[in-house]
Amino acid sequence: MATRYWIVSLPVQSSASSLWSRLQESISKRSFDTLLYRFNTPDLRVGTLDSLLALSDDLAKSNAFIEGVSHKIRRQIEDLERASGVEGGALTVDGVPVDSYLTRFVWDEAKYPTMSPLREIVDSIHVLVAKIEDDMKVRAAEYNNIRSQLNIINRKQSGSLAVRDLSNLVKPEDIITSEHLVTLLAVVPKYSQKDWLSSYETLTTYVVPRSTKKLHEDNEYALYTVTLFGRVADNFKTSARERGFQIREFEYSPEAQESRKQELEKLLQDQENIRSSLLQWCYASYGEVFSSWMHFCAVRVFAESILRYGLPPSFLAAVLAPSAKGEKKVRSILEELCGNVNSTFWKSEDEVGLAGLGGEAEAYPYVSFTINIV
């Protein structure tokens, strides 16, 4: 599947079918690796020249907006698929692969009646895409909120002993709590463990001899218990801090531990449900946006062809996907097929605004704009 397509239109001088045959023949002979398809634009309502000119000012800007929303949804889908471990499949529009929908585009008359003014069609597409973008922001914010809560919990569980949650490292038998005795938890730098073992009994009075026990070790710290009389706990903390040992505040509570475990399980379940729901919504919404975008492109190629070639509408619209190396060759083929029609018009300095209607860096003697699917 190509990711970058040109939608172009050429002026019809005799018949559309003979021009199409000449285009097919030239592409197959001189740029055979270029994909080429007819782009079916319906007979839309022209309106006045003033309304077309006013509309043309907004077309490139609206295209950039719709393209941007489609890319946002696609990126969100890729992120969600990665997070879910889902194999990314081909995105579809109404059950048809995206590239097939583009290359075999058919106008949806029920959704966008061709007798509606062009401005009305463009505005309804813009409103629909803007609403989808707003919905996505709300849904993605809900998902990201759950993820950030889980990240905080994960940091607490996977950070160093100086900051992480200690409840799953401490067992009931590690803690002594009585009328007079308390057990404290000391976080000791790995390189200071000998210092701790030789000094903890003397950091204050009334420390129970040989009461320290190592519970856990990570890359930076070791976690030790120490038991002492409750009334000297503050003195011990001060002396320990002076020696570079951190006493972590900790109260063993099976209820709190169970509550945290349940909260984590609920968050994980919520995350999975929201992720699955958001992914399904994104699949459907991507199809909706892409379909709207192709209808917009049909309006755009119709409006710009009339502004460039005049009335009555007589042009051939096509979709091409040239390789990077073949672009110049394809441009020259398209230019040759334009003949001399409107050549003075497109080159005149006064009309450079119209010549560049497609929003391309260069002006061509035919309508041309690029759409990037990815």
Model pLDDT, residue 254: 73
Q: Which amino acid is at 199?
A: S
Residue 248 tokens, joined: 């972590």
Q: Residues of CATH 3.30.70.100 domain(s) within the chain? A: 172-252
* Gap between the Cα atoms of 203 and 218, Å rounded: 24
* Gap between the Cα atoms of 64 and 70, Å rounded: 10
Answer yes or no: are the C-beta atoms of 70 and 293 closer than 8 Å. Answer: yes
The residues that bridge with 228 in the sheet, in sequence order, are 182, 207
* Gap between the Cα atoms of 207 and 200, Å rounded: 8
Task: Assign 236 to helix, strand or coil.
Answer: helix
Q: Residues of CATH 1.20.1460.10 domain(s) within the chain? A: 4-148+270-372
- In this structure, how many other beta carbons lie within 10 angstroms of the beta carbon of residue 262? 10
- In this structure, how many other beta carbons lie within 10 angstroms of the beta carbon of residue 80? 22
HSE-CB at 270 with a 13 A cutoff on CA atoms is 15
Answer yes or no: are the C-beta atoms of 252 and 172 closer than 8 Å. Answer: yes
Q: In angstroms, what CA-CA distances link 338 with 11, 77, 231, 308?
A: 6, 41, 96, 12
In the sheet that holds 213-217, the strands lie side by side as: 213-217, 221-229, 181-189, 246-248
> Per residue in 34-76, pLDDT tens?
999 999 999 999 888 888 998 988 898 999 999 999 999 999 9
CA 351: distance to chain centroid? 38
Model pLDDT, residue 1: 61
Task: Assign 139 to helix, strand or coil.
Answer: helix
* Gap between the Cα atoms of 286 and 91, Å rounded: 8
Question: Which CATH number describes the domain made up of 4-148+270-372?
Answer: 1.20.1460.10
224 closest CA partner among 181, 177, 190, 253: 190
Low-confidence ranges of the chain (pLDDT < 70): 1, 340-362
Q: In angstroms, what CA-CA distances link 162 with 30, 188, 227?
A: 69, 9, 20
Model pLDDT, residue 357: 44
Model pLDDT, residue 359: 46
Model pLDDT, residue 340: 64
pTM of the model: 0.77
320 closest CA partner among 110, 20, 59: 20
Task: Assign 210 to helix, strand or coil.
Answer: coil
In this structure, is the dihedral angle defined by the CA atoms of residues 87, 90, 96 and 98, taken in order, positive or negative? positive
Question: Which CATH number describes the domain made up of 172-252?
Answer: 3.30.70.100
